Chains A and B, each alone.
Chain A
Amino acid sequence: MKRQFATGLILALGIVGCKVQPTTTASGPKELVLVDIEKLPIEKAMLGFAPKVAPPVARDHQARVVVELEATERIGRLADGVEYLFWTFGDTVPGPMIRVRQGDYVELHMKNHEDSKLPHNIDLHAVKGPGGGAEATLVAPGEHKSFSFRALKPGVYVYHCATPPVGMHVANGMYGLIVVEPEEGLAAVDREYYVMQSEFYTKGNFGEPGLQEFSADRAMAEDPGYVVFNGAVGALTGDNAMKANVGERVRLFVGNGGPNLVSSFHVIGEVFETVYHEGGLTKNHNVQTTLIPAGGATMVEFSLKVPGDYLLVDHSLFRAFNKGALGMLKVEGKENLALFRHGAHDKRGVEEAAVQTADSHEGHDETEKAPVNAVKPDESAAVEVDGGKVYARTCASCHMPDGTGLKGTFPALTGSKVAMDDKQAVQTVLRGRRGNYGFMPPHGHLSDEEVAAVLTHIRKSFGNEGEPVKAEDVKALRGS
């Protein structure tokens, strides 16, 4: 969901690459000397649309930064086959990243699209001043308001709509991050990404298709149907996965829009070498999982040593595997067997050992290396539900969109004996399964038709060739 109204704005200064000055912390906090507003050069903010960040500040002086945001209300994709009426900043969820320098004078212009049904405003947590701008920016549909503030304190901050009912405006998607860089800038890294967790309180449960309404009851009960990164299931997986290379240092700006849940943010297979606690400037090192409060943010940095797929999760795990809180960082580069290998170290043949990956689950080793992605059309006339869609929203986050799974964690479906066994296949979907890889949760909430459709899809995709599964067989096994 992008309409980048900032696109095409070219700074007169010309931003090239990342900031290179290193962070200096030894000298302690310097006193901020504010330049007279009238003397500040004026520039238009370059916004960052997740997962892209706003470009690092390329200035060594203060400026008057003009930020333009527009509130919209529009229907968009929450998951495959599931739509939601999002309320947004900048027509995106999360809203665009704003990035300024400590001491900047920020002039924030808030428009509300004419087609909006409701008023909106903005409260930026980076603001020192009543309401964070909320009262000054309460803007009716079709109108425009503005307010200005001095970015006094460096850090990573959430902004959000604060129009009553505040929780509902936030629950519908109105949040984003504003980064205030310290005067000396942030340390140079190779890549930066912008991730924001939030939850959606749909009337229907996870995966229930169609246009889902906001449920005030579920919001009050803090029982979301969806917990997602960047506004939708799959916004950071598959083709949307973030990318990086071995040897690079990565910085993630991670916010939590809430409105209710505290995130246990974790990247599977990584150790955060630096965590800027709660988005402030205090650093912690070698952190596995970091808490991000609702309405809070963090900045984590790590260097990539080993190629592969790294999953971003809320380690409150049922949110990750049953409500959508999954993202992926794909890391390419040369294997470093001295740092990580499948199987035991074998002095006699290091290279061979790397190829003979030793993990085996559910007996599909043979075909694992050669996934075939072509999907054959379903032949069964009885199957009306789109199994591909059910797969995309229910299975793909773990078993991956191409059915190849994730080695050692999620079994591949290509050649899966379980998927080909009529009874085991259905029972696995309905009741879950324990295997040597771990645990697959039950999906009994899927209808008989959906289970049949998704299994049929699996049996005719990913290089598999199997018979369709019938809804009546699912029904019979569900009762057994």
Chain B
Amino acid sequence: MRTSAIHIIATAIMLLGLLQAAAPEARAETDDMVTVPAGDFLPFYADGNSAQSVPAFRLDRYPVTNAQFLAFIQATPRWRRDAAPPIFVDKGYLRQWGSETQLGSEAPANHPVTRVSWFAARAYCRAQGKRLPTQTEWEYAGRWGNTSADGLLTAEAVERQIRNYANGSRRVEKDVTTIAPDKLGLVGMHELVWEWVEDFEASSVVGGDRGKDGKTEALFCGGAVLAATDSRDYAAFMRYAFRSSLQPTHTLPSLGFRCAADIQ
């Protein structure tokens, strides 16, 4: 499964390069982004329990909304659902929209856009002069905003996250402006939809070389617990398991994204 995914990504990225030769050099608007301060972060699946230092970066305050993605589509028609090549998006791409160029009642303007593939999310960020956050960046920011004063992830926060993730088929997309920001000012990191990260494919445990590095089993059953740095963080288990089930062309009704940018 992973090998085929890598091939798809490799082929598609080459094509994407051609498609995006004229990507606009748009400047990110600072108000829409939050600066995540530099710091050390112990990844959930870490080699040898070693903390990683994360340089400061900027992250979209909100997940990308339907309205924002529609604006992107209008400026970049090759990402319309009737035009995007199947190698980049599966058949569910933007299916909840009223039409190729209209949102419709199932996709309110201020709700997070969902049913976008990793390729589409990446193209969107690029068009804004941004990029997708790495898994480490996303996890670091998502944790930063939900810790107690002493920097620990509280049991209450984990419980809240589990509640939000494990809500079955109940609709989770909400108006992004109705959600309270976390300590960093980020909105909806754990409350709205799952979010793509740049290297969902390449994390140390669930990466493309599984099997070769002896970590094939690490994600399943006992292995997951042996490898995890916090076996009580059930919310993190859920996020990592979710990411590892993805293919880059997937367009799921509960999966959106937000963009990141380096600090110049």
Residues in A lying within 8 Å of B, measured CB to CB:
73-75, 85, 113-119, 121, 123, 130-131, 134-136, 138-143, 145, 162-166, 168, 172, 213-214, 216-217, 220
Query: Which of A114, A118, A130, A142 contacts B241 (CB under 8 A)?
Result: A118
Q: Which of B1, B168, B252 contacts A73 (CB 8 A)?
A: B168
Binary interface encoding of chain B residues 5-37 relative to chain A, with 1 for a CB under 8 A from any of its CBs, else 0: 000000000000000000000000000000000
Residue of A145, A163, A164, A216 with highest tally of chain B CB at under 10 A = A164
Known A-B contacts A140-B252, A141-B253; A162 and B221 likewise in contact (beta carbons under 8 Å): yes
Q: Is the CB of B220 within 8 A of A165?
A: no
Cβ A74 vs Cβ B169 within 8 A: yes
* Inter-subunit contact A115/B169 (CB<8 Å): yes
B238 surroundings in chain A (CB, below 8 A): 118, 164-165, 168
For A133, give the chain B residue with the smallest CB separation. Answer: B220
- For A220, what are the chain B residues with a Cβ–Cβ distance below 8 Å? 232
Partner-contacting stretch, out of B63-71, B101-109, B243-251: B243-251
Do the beta carbons of B217 and A131 come within 8 Å of each other?
A: yes
Other contacts beyond A123-B221, A142-B250: 10, CB < 8 A: A75-B168, A117-B169, A131-B220, A136-B1, A138-B1, A138-B219, A164-B219, A164-B220, A216-B159, A216-B232
Interface: B142 (CB within 8 A): no
Number of B residues, CB within 8 Å of A: 35
Closest to A114 in B: B253
Could you say which residues of chain A place their CB within 8 Å of the CB of B217? 130-131, 135
Q: Determine the distance from Cα of A143 to Cα of B221 in the docked complex, in whole angstroms.
A: 22
Q: Note all chain A residues with C-beta closer than 8 A to B219.
A: 135, 138, 164
User: Shortest distance in angstroms between A112's beta carbon and chain B's nearest beta carbon?
Assistant: 8
**Which A residues are CB-close (under 8 A) to B1?**
136, 138, 145
Query: Which B-chain residue is minimally distant from A86 (CB atoms)?
Result: B168
A214 to chain B, nearest CB (A): 7
Query: Contact: B247 with A140, CB < 8 Å?
Result: yes
Select which of A73, A136, A216 is within 8 A of B162 by beta carbon.
A216
Which B residues are closer than 8 A to A by beta carbons?
1, 92, 155, 158-159, 162-163, 165-169, 172, 210, 216-217, 219-221, 224, 232, 234, 237-238, 240-242, 244-247, 250, 252-254
- Which residues of B are found within 8 Å of A139, using beta-carbon distances? 245
Q: Are B253 and A85 in contact (CB under 8 A)?
A: no
The CA-CA distance from A115 to B254 in the complex, in Å, is 8
Nearest B residue to A167 by beta-carbon distance? B234
Residues of B within 8 A of A85 (CB): 166-168
A142 to B234, CA, bound (A): 23
| Chain A binding surface SS class | loop
Q: Return B170 CB to nearest CB of chain A, in Å.
A: 8
20 contacts between A and B (CB under 8 A): A75-B168, A116-B168, A117-B169, A119-B241, A119-B242, A121-B220, A130-B216, A131-B217, A134-B221, A135-B217, A138-B241, A140-B242, A140-B246, A140-B247, A141-B254, A164-B241, A165-B234, A166-B220, A214-B166, A220-B232
> In the bound complex, what is the Cα–Cα distance between A65 and B220 (angstroms)?
26
Interface centre among B217, B220, B238 (most CB of A within 10 A): B220
Residue in A115, A119, A216 whose CB lies within 8 Å of B158: A216
- Whether A166 contacts B224 by the Cβ 8 Å rule is yes
Please, which residues of chain B bring their CB within 8 A of the CB of A74? 168-169
Chain A's nearest CB lies how many Å from the CB of B29? 31
CA distance A343 to B239 in the complex (A): 63
Nearest CB in chain A: distance from B201 CB, A = 13
CB contact under 8 A between A162 and B220, given known A140-B252, A168-B234: yes
Q: From residue B246, how far is it (CB to closest CB) to chain A in Å?
A: 6
When the two chains form their complex, are residues B253 and A216 in contact, meaning their CB atoms are under 8 A apart? no
Given contact pairs A135-B220, A216-B158, A216-B162, A115 touches B237 in the complex (Cβ within 8 A): no
Cα–Cα, bound, A119→B242 (Å): 6
Residue among A119, A131, A143, A165 facing the most chain B CB atoms (10 A cut-off): A165
In the complex the two chains form, is A213's CB within 8 Å of B250's CB?
no
Residues of A with C-beta under 8 A to B232: 216, 220
Chain B nearest Cβ from A231, distance in angstroms: 16
Complex interface: chain A residues within 8 A of B250 (CB):
140, 142-143
Please name all residues of chain B whose beta carbon is closer than 8 Å to the beta carbon of A172 when the two chains form the complex: 166
Decide if B169 touches A164 in the complex (CB within 8 Å).
no
> If the complex has contacts A85-B168, A115-B168, A115-B253, are A142 and B245 also in contact, measured as CB distance less than 8 A?
no
A residues less than 8 Å from B168 (CB atoms): 73-75, 85, 115-117
- Nearest opposing residue in chain A for B193, CB measure: A117
Q: Are A117 and B245 in contact (CB under 8 A)?
A: no
Q: What CA separation (Å) do A139 and B252 show in the bound complex?
A: 12
Of B168, B217, B232, B253, most buried by chain A (CB within 10 Å of CB) is B168
Residue of A nearest to B222 (CB): A166
Instruction: List the 5 shortest-distance A-B pairs measured between CB atoms, nearest first.
Output: A119-B245, A115-B169, A165-B237, A73-B168, A164-B237
Q: What is the chain B residue whose CB lies nearest that of A115?
A: B169
User: In the docked arrangement, what's the CA distance between A119 and B221, Å?
Assistant: 14
- With A119-B242, A138-B244, A140-B245 known to touch, is A166 a contact of B166 (CB < 8 Å)? no
> With A85-B166, A164-B238 in contact, do A138 and B245 touch (Cβ < 8 Å)?
yes
Q: Check A142 against B220 for contact (C-beta < 8 Å).
A: no
A73–B169 Cα distance when bound, in Å, is 7
Chain B residues positioned under 8 Å from A138 (CB to CB): 1, 219, 241, 244-245
Q: A330 to nearest B CB, angstroms?
A: 35
Residues of B within 8 A of A119 (CB): 241-242, 244-245
The answer to whether A117 and B166 touch (CB under 8 A), given A131-B221, A164-B241, is yes
CA distance A121 to B206 in the complex (A): 15
Complex: how many Å from CA A131 to CA B1? 15
A135 and B216 within 8 A (CB): yes
| A130-B217, A131-B217, A164-B237 known; A217-B254 Cβ under 8 A | no
Residues of B within 8 A of A134 (CB): 220-221
Among A114, A117, A134, A162: residue with most chain B CB under 10 A:
A117
Which residue in chain A gives the minimum CB-CB distance to B216? A135
Given A74-B169, A85-B168, A131-B221, verify A117-B254 contact (CB < 8 Å). yes
In the complex formed, the residue of A with least CB distance to B219 is: A164
Chain A proximity of B162: nearest CB distance (Å)? 6
| A15, B199: Cα distance in complex, Å | 51
A142 touches B253 (CB 8 A): yes
A141–B253 Cα distance when bound, in Å, is 8
CB distance from B222 to the nearest CB of A (A): 8
Cα A119 to Cα B240 with chains together (Å)? 10
Chain A residues within an 8 Å CB radius of B172: 117
In angstroms, Cα B254 to Cα A117, docked, is 7
Minimum distance in angstroms from A157 CB to a CB of chain B: 15
Contact partners of A164 in chain B: CB under 8 A: 219-220, 224, 237-238, 240-241
> Closest CB of chain B to A166's CB: distance in Å?
6
